[in-house]
Amino acid sequence: MAANRRPTLADVAREVGVSAKTVSRVLNEDGPASARTREQVLAAVAKLGFQPNLMARNIRVGGPDTTIGLVIPDLGNPFFGAVARSIEDTVRDRGLTLLMGSSADDPDRERALTDKFLARRISILMVVPSVGADHSHLKTHRAAGLPVVFLDRPGAGLSTDSVVSSNRDGAHQGVAHLIAHGHRRIGFIGDLPTKLYTRRERLAGYRAALQEAGLPYDRSLVANAHDQQGASAATAQLLGLADPPTALFAGNNIVALGIVTELARSKRKDVAVVAFDDVELAEALEPALTVVAQDAEEIGRAAATTALARLDGDRSRARTVTVPTRLIVRGSGERPAPVLQEA
């Protein structure tokens, strides 16, 4: 009922009749301890339900807290969930746990989160940088030995390790796939804000593929959307053009959901689709959705591995790991383009 004080090392020591240091020794398997003392201590610990205060320990030892601060745009996005899982799997046996928060791609929220994490003396900081966020304030911490890794996008104002997907090549490959199947008017629906690194890179890949095939770049075929509803609307808008696209390229998983949903709603089976980033049930759609899949697991692993190496003293230059994407052909890109109708 009442908030009983939690037992401390001293309480355990008093219970046994030894000094605090002795208890500490037993628990940390530091220095020597007679078998008898050890037993008594362990018994008292169990009896009192003592659990050492990690914060107090860290304060004294001076080392960082055994946590990784991880800032992602949205805890509910399965892609970032998969990345987080992979990071956790990689660092588990080093005893690190995840301190997580979502920024909603807002630089202020990102900053608030990182500041909180830093105040908690995390061992590693991993951030999916928000558009417009500046990271020069992290320089001090880097200098103090804190490994910093940017995920999914490079950070601004700070040269540091980052792990990204092969956005440009992946988009290029996806669009080339559509072109190879006869499409000549291909729409691109990408994330807002337009300045977002991944969106930019993927759009660049799209343009490169068009150019390679000698196709014109038509700005009216490029639309923006930030969420699933927006993507559905953008889909309807593009298909309503006088000279509409026969195929659509989705800039990310959320956009893909919007496109596919809208096509299903309007019963448009004649529009080819390739999506960046895999989505659940992609293979159960009709036709199954062809995607440029990101390797979330490898992204997480690469980030964790890099950070751990830094923690172990790796002082080499900052590196950017580019994790390859993989074109998974399932059918939605393969339909022959219908004959173009005139405007």
Partner DNA sequence: GTGAAAGCGCTAACAA
Partner DNA sequence: TTGTTAGCGCTTTCAC
Q: Which residues bind DNA (CB under 7 A)?
A: 5-6, 8-10, 17-22, 24-25, 27-28, 30-34, 36-38, 52-53, 56-57, 59-62
CB of 216 to a second copy, least distance (A): 31
121 binds a second copy per the rule CB under 8 A: yes
Sign of the torsion formed by the C-alpha atoms of 20, 23, 29 and 33? positive
When the beta carbons of 61 and 339 are compared against DNA, the nearer one is 61
When the beta carbons of 34 and 211 are compared against DNA, the nearer one is 34
User: What is the distance between the alpha carbons of residues 45 and 169, in angstroms, rounded to a whole number?
Assistant: 58
Decide if 228 contacts 254 (C-beta within 8 A).
yes
Binder among 24, 37, 42, 52 for a second copy (CB under 8 A)? 52
Burial class (CB in 10 A: 0-12, 13-18, 19+), 306: buried
Write the CB contacts of 282 (distance below 8 Å, at least 6 apart in sequence): 275, 288, 289, 291, 328, 330
User: What is the distance between the alpha carbons of residues 280 and 282, in angstroms, rounded to a whole number?
Assistant: 5
102 binds a second copy per the rule CB under 8 A: yes
Residue 8 contact, options DNA, a second copy, none, Cβ 5-8 Å cut-off depending on partner type: DNA
Count of alpha carbons within 13 angstroms of residue 45, beta-carbon side = 15
User: Applying CB under 8 A, which part among 202-210, 215-223, 276-284, 318-326 lies near a second copy?
Assistant: 276-284
Residue 260 contact, options a second copy, DNA, none, Cβ 5-8 Å cut-off depending on partner type: a second copy
Residues facing 148 on adjacent strands = 125
Residue 74 contact, options DNA, a second copy, none, Cβ 5-8 Å cut-off depending on partner type: a second copy
User: What is the distance between the alpha carbons of residues 14 and 44, in angstroms, rounded to a whole number?
Assistant: 10
When the beta carbons of 91 and 133 are compared against a second copy, the nearer one is 91
User: What is the distance between the alpha carbons of residues 249 and 235, in angstroms, rounded to a whole number?
Assistant: 10
Instruction: Output helix, strand, coil percentages for the chain, rounded to the nearest 5.
Output: 45, 15, 40
DSSP-derived 3-state class of residue 195 = coil
Each as own residue / partner, the long-range contacts of residues 9-16 (CB below 8 Å, 24 or more positions apart, any chain) are: 9/50, 9/52, 11/48, 11/50, 12/41, 12/44, 12/45, 12/48, 12/50, 15/44, 15/47, 15/48, 16/40, 16/41, 16/44
51 binds a second copy per the rule CB under 8 A: yes
Binder among 13, 100, 158, 302 for a second copy (CB under 8 A)? 100
61 binds a second copy per the rule CB under 8 A: no
Residue 21 contact, options DNA, a second copy, none, Cβ 5-8 Å cut-off depending on partner type: DNA
68 binds a second copy per the rule CB under 8 A: no
Q: Which residue is associated with the tokens 């500041």?
A: 115
118 binds a second copy per the rule CB under 8 A: yes
236 binds a second copy per the rule CB under 8 A: no
Residue 132 contact, options DNA, a second copy, none, Cβ 5-8 Å cut-off depending on partner type: none
Applying CB under 8 A, the residues found at the interface with a second copy are 1, 3-6, 49, 51-56, 58-59, 65, 67, 74-78, 81-82, 84-85, 88, 97-102, 113, 115-121, 137, 140, 143-145, 257, 260-261, 263-265, 279-286, 288, 315
